[in-house]
Amino acid sequence: MNAQTPAAEKARMATPVGTDRAHEDLTVILNPGSGKKAGTLSVEELEERVAALPFPTTVRHAKSGGDIARLAREALNSGTGPIVAAGGDGTICAVASVLAGTGRTMGVIPMGTFNFFARGLGIPEDVEGAVEVLQSGTPVPVTVGEVNGSLFLNNASIGAYPAILDQREGIYKRWGRSRIAAYWSVLAALATFHRPMTMKITVDGQELRRRSPLAFVAMSGYQLEQYELDGAEDVRAGRFALYVAPDTGGWGLLIHAVKLAWRRLRPGRDLELFTGREILIETRRKRRLVARDGEKEEMRNPFHFVARQDALSVLAPAPAPGEVDSARGSEEDTPG
């Protein structure tokens, strides 16, 4: 499967609705602890770029992860213009969690390690390009996922991946944030991981049982295409893609991770794929760590995944002629 252009990710969206932001205020919530800071720009230079926009702007610095949602709520209650998340996917998810369902538009300045959400929308990874989108972009509605009421934009999972995030935190502290460090954390965690879960999984009312170390629920068609995994078109049609790994032990998981990195995973053998609009996963343990967009938190069993159609409005580059119609057709032509 060949990866499509980032504009193809708009297939999980409805028709963009333009708006005039010339007289609106804009608030940027900046997470200085994100993966790559501001790329080649210092934080001060980023603030200068934002201040040069032709409408009132404010930059707020988050002191911690928990501070991000608080600042987003304050901005939501005090203004009318777009609220911009400047950080990695975890920062973007935190701001989106506040704005989803409010009708307030969100902007994105990607400063993380992978930036799957921004890349999927065609938002440039360089700060200059991302700031330009804040002025010239078009608000588009985006479908988001929820697990037990908590929002996610790219993926959520239980089992091995939360363990990887534990390992990643230590590696980041020692070696800094980078994609190489992120990949190394996968290898380091999976080499010793063997905690399979006995699960009852219900997908759109159909029940199945599996014993597996990992249940991974994807919401980003763009991310799936980057790893050449099946399921992207289902995601764009408003369905989740659930991947269940076989119980092959820690070394088996490690081999699967290497195959994934080299785009060599085989559908139906290395991973099982199930698609649906609503997923319920029940395990024997009452509580488990759940990973959401690179962050982890403990949740109570069972784990209920639902899609919120067009719950979020995000500033994205205006599509080239024909791109929106093509994207919309993928969604409309697919049976619900």
- The better pLDDT of the pair 147, 18 is held by 147
Same fold across 6-144+310-332 and 151-308: no
The fraction of the chain above a pLDDT of 90, given in percent, is 55
Note the pLDDT tens digit of each residue in 86-140: 999 899 999 999 999 999 999 999 998 889 999 999 999 999 999 999 999 999 9
Note the pLDDT tens digit of each residue in 166-176: 655 554 555 45
Asked if residue 292 lies in contact with residue 152, where contact means CB atoms within 8 angstroms, the answer is yes
Specify the pLDDT at position 132.
96
Specify the pLDDT at position 316.
98
CATH architecture type of domain 151-308: Sandwich (2.60)
Span 38-62, mean pLDDT?
86
Specify the pLDDT at position 249.
60
Specify the pLDDT at position 15.
37
Asked if residue 67 lies in contact with residue 29, where contact means CB atoms within 8 angstroms, the answer is no
Specify the pLDDT at position 245.
84
CATH fold label, 6-144+310-332: Rossmann fold (3.40.50)
Question: Could you give the CA distance from residue 293 to residue 144 in angstroms, rounded to a whole number?
Answer: 12
Q: Which residues contact 89 (CB under 8 A, 6 or more apart)?
A: 112, 114, 115, 116, 117, 153, 154, 293, 294
- Give me the torsion for CA of 216, 217, 222, 227, rounded to 10°: 20
Q: Does the CA dihedral 43-46-48-51 come out positive or negative?
A: negative
Name the 3-class secondary structure at 2.
coil
Per-domain residue ranges of the chain: 6-144+310-332, 151-308
Task: State CA 221 to chain mean position distance.
Answer: 10
Task: State how far the alpha carbon of 164 is from the alpha carbons of 87, 139, 291, in Å.
Answer: 21, 34, 10
Rank 19-28, 91-100, 194-203, 227-236 by mean pLDDT and report only the highest.
91-100
Task: State how far the alpha carbon of 265 is from the alpha carbons of 13, 62, 187, 229, 249, in Å.
Answer: 28, 39, 16, 8, 17
Question: Could you give the CA distance from residue 218 to residue 222 in angstroms, rounded to a whole number?
Answer: 10
Lowest average pLDDT, out of 113-117, 135-139, 262-266, 314-318, goes to 262-266
Question: Longest C-alpha distance within the chain, in Å?
Answer: 58
* pLDDT of 202 higher than 90: yes
